[in-house]
Structure 1
Amino acid sequence: MTGDSENPNSDVQYHLEVSADDVADTVLLPGNPERLEKIVEFWDDHEIRAHHREYRTATGTTDGTPISVTSTGIGSPSAAIAVEELARVGCETFIRVGSCGAIQPEMDVGDLVITTGAVRQEGTSDEYVREDYPATADYEVVCALVAAAERLGYDYHTGVTMSADSFYAGQGRPGFEGFEAAGADDLVDQLKDANVKNIEMEASAIMTIANLYGLRAGAVCTVYANRETGAFRTEGESRAAETATLATHLLAKMDAVKRAHGAERWHAGLALEED
């Protein structure tokens, strides 16, 4: 039991400094606080609701659908805090919006990766649940992200992501003065052979925690680098933001169709007309 001084159920959350009135049901989760400005460019309107540490939150609308964004900083520990505190003020759907390194040769810089599941190489989710618990994306979120990418005409890939805690050693990169972690020399090859699509640092924790709490989560990332081909360019960042924004609107429409048909979950028999 925690004392009153550490009560996590306060109306205003300790790290994010948001309350239930500050956020929508669906929240986009970029790492970089500066990415927030690039995300809200695709909205109809927005208002900054909080900014504390690495956590910056804005809420607005897209095609009439309420939407929020909260930056998480780099890595799963801070992303987990964001999911925890956003869940406590009523958020139900989380979409990571970020960048990644691809490890399959056919993937180009600027392509999107829509995560269906993740290798939990980060340690944060291990503190929540046994290590063989799967990190899976909610299939409704995946469907909405795929539909959004299709409508926008962006090249995308779906599949398994690996989430690491370290940008350097944990992703098979050399550290200071050429330091190499154990197993670093063949890490990327092993992942590639297992048909893992990309590497990033937050998705598996976000999805694991959301699953544990009965919430929806997924991830869409823009490829900045291909570890197989050696290509590296910071381009296409806005594609993930635009795709996640449209997916939020599509999820709201999917939820409305489910309610109209008395369906618990989205399925192929339900139609979603284009606007």
Structure 2
Amino acid sequence: MTSTPHINPQGVPIAKTVLLPGDPLRAQFIAENYLSDVQQFNTVRNMFGFTGMFNGRQVSVMGSGMGIPSASLYAYELIHTFGVERLIRIGSCGGMQDQLELFDIVVAASASTDSHFMHQYKLPGTFAPTASWSLLSAVAQEAESQGIQLHVGNVLSSDVFYRHDPSDAQRWAQMGVLAVEMETAGIYSVAAHAGVEALALFTVSDHLFKGEETTSEQRQKSFTQMMELVLPVAAR
């Protein structure tokens, strides 16, 4: 029976497309409220994973934890051990541009980073982690059909949550970076190296310069517009 140190499905199937919220309780919320015929495929370290049906297609959803090290190891195992072909991160982010408001949706066309994660590939230059165009365009089409405004552009995948120098954020914002989160550059890099598709989108949970923020319960249960946007794409 196939398993890894971090994922033990015990015979439950994992779909070719997996949604990756950072919070395992958000994965459980999606499974319980949007999927039918749900089976739980992972409980290792309480990083819950579920497989169910949406619009007649099999879809999985699993927590990925916080930060590039956590998210990238789950991405790697899902791809290389379980044959996953499409990873869609659905997370939260901190807004860095004036046009962003709480609960807006940001899509990462690319991900800048202060992480050293890409150094392992020993590339003779700087790799630019980039979204899958097929997934990005599908989400854009779905957003148009649902009347949802998207903010598409560059995000920052940072290793640091409590930053020693707050002015760092201002310098990233000056370069047009839309928002900050902690996982996407790692997921995009793992997917690129494996030749599979990846996309990350986020609900704005706070704003670095406006002093606005959502509660932990809102982050777990109230990002429903993002969920309803991405599920039809995941079920294609």
TM value normalised by structure 2: 0.90
- The residue number in structure 1 matching 2:83 is 90
Q: Which moved more, 1:218-227 or 1:153-162?
A: 153-162
Residue 33 (1) aligns with residue 24 (2): yes
**AA partner of residue 73 (structure 1):** G
Residue matched to 2:38 = 46
Structure 1's consecutive aligned runs of 4 or more residues displaced over 4 angstroms after TM superposition are: none
Structure 1, 114-123 or 10-19: larger mean CA deviation: 10-19
More displaced stretch, 229-238 vs 214-223 = 229-238
Alignment-derived partner of residue 153 in structure 1: 147
Q: State the partner residue of 1:191.
A: 172
Residues 10 and 41 in structure 2, CA contact (< 8 A), matched pair in contact too: no
CA contact (8 A) 1:162 1:200 kept: yes
Tell which has more relative contact order, 1 or 2 (C-alpha 8 A, sep 6+).
Answer: 2
Question: Shift of residue 207 of structure 1?
Answer: 0.5
Matching of residue 208 in structure 1 with residue 199 in structure 2: no
Structure 1 Cα separation of the partners of residues 173 and 56 of structure 2:
41
For the Cα contact (< 8 Å) 2:28–2:50, is it kept in 1?
no
Specify which of 228, 232, 236 is matched with residue 213 of structure 2: 232
Which residue of structure 2 aligns with residue 66 of structure 1? 58
Contact 1:24 1:59 in 2 (8 A): yes
Aligned equivalents of 2:11 and 2:78: distance in 1? 8
Aligned residues: 228
Match of 2:159 among 161, 165, 168: 165
Q: Does the 8 A contact of 1:43 with 1:245 survive in 2?
A: no
Q: CA deviation at 1:42?
A: 2.0
The one-letter amino acid paired with 1:208 is S
**Residue type of the partner of 2:141?**
A
Letter aligned with residue 55 of structure 2: D
- How far apart are the structure 2 equivalents of 1:165 and 1:207? 15
Q: How far did 1:189 drift?
A: 1.5
The residue matched to 2:9 in structure 1 has which SS?
coil
Could you list the per-position Cα deviations for residues 28-86 of structure 1 after superposition, in whole angstroms to 9, with x for gaps in the alignment? 01111110122221223321112101421100111011100111111111111111111
Instruction: Pick the structure with greater CA Rg.
Output: 1
C-alpha distance in 2, partners of 1:97/1:20? 26
**Conserved 8 A contact 1:16-1:56:** no
What root-mean-square deviation, in Å, do the aligned CA atoms of Structure 1 and Structure 2 show? 1.8
- The structural deviation recorded for 1:106 is 0.7
Structure 1 unmatched ranges of 5 or more:
1-9, 170-179, 253-275
Does residue 113 of structure 1 match 2:94? no
Tell me which moved more, 145-154 or 56-65. Answer: 145-154
Residues 153 and 46 of structure 1: CA distance in aligned 2, closer, same or farther (over 3 Å): farther
Change (3 A) 1:144 1:129: farther
Contact 1:162–1:198 (CA under 8 A) maintained in structure 2: yes
Q: Which amino acid aligns with 1:167?
A: F
Cα distance in 1 for partners of 2:11, 2:138 equals 25
> Does the 8 A contact of 2:12 with 2:39 survive in 1?
no
